[in-house]
Amino acid sequence: MNVQLIFFISVLFGVAGWSVVGAAYLWPWLRQQTRADALRPLLMLHVFRYIGLSFLVPGVVAADLPSTFARSTALGDLAAALLALLALASLRGALGPILVWIFNLWGTLDLLNAFFQAGAAGLSPGRFGAAFFLPTVIVPLLLVTHALAFRILLRPLAARSAMGAQ
């Protein structure tokens, strides 16, 4: 079977699986929280994006993984983790919503950019080595949580206040 097809199917199932979990379990709970309380667990999850640094570790990924891809992916994830920490620390302050927007836009674009870079470079999934689980399991989870964060951020303020008062 074609390795690229296996990779695509794996990513697709990752997105589908995490979307079901998000819709069935996460969103019903998150929508009842205040904005800050709903965003907190999503931001906490993204603090672990430092794991993208594994793309820079020979032996975890193939030695011939293009360094341009590895470096931009790893540093983009590290920046997203730092932005998530900053947003988390300022969540209840006036700067909080702005930092969450910056984090969420950066984090989403960073993940999509990594997929497009990998596709444009024609990367074989085998070059990801042990990090194969990142784009097939972790990235779909991160994309789903970014979508949930956008949904929370875009809810009308009146709806957030009403939900938080319950």
Q: In this model, does residue 158 exceed pLDDT 60?
A: no
For the chain, the structural domain boundaries read: 3-20+49-156
Contacts with 18 (C-beta within 8 Å, 6 or more apart), sequence order? 140, 141, 143, 144
pLDDT, residue 35, reads: 94
- Chain-wide mean pLDDT for the chain? 92
Specify the residue for token string 């997203």: 80
Q: In this model, does residue 148 exceed pLDDT 80?
A: yes
pTM value?
A: 0.91
DSSP bridge partners of 58? 61
| pLDDT tens figures, 46-78 | 999 999 999 999 999 999 999 999 999 999 999
| pLDDT tens figures, 8-43 | 999 999 999 999 999 999 999 999 999 999 999 999
Specify the higher pLDDT residue, 130 or 164.
130
Termini Cα distance of the chain? 53
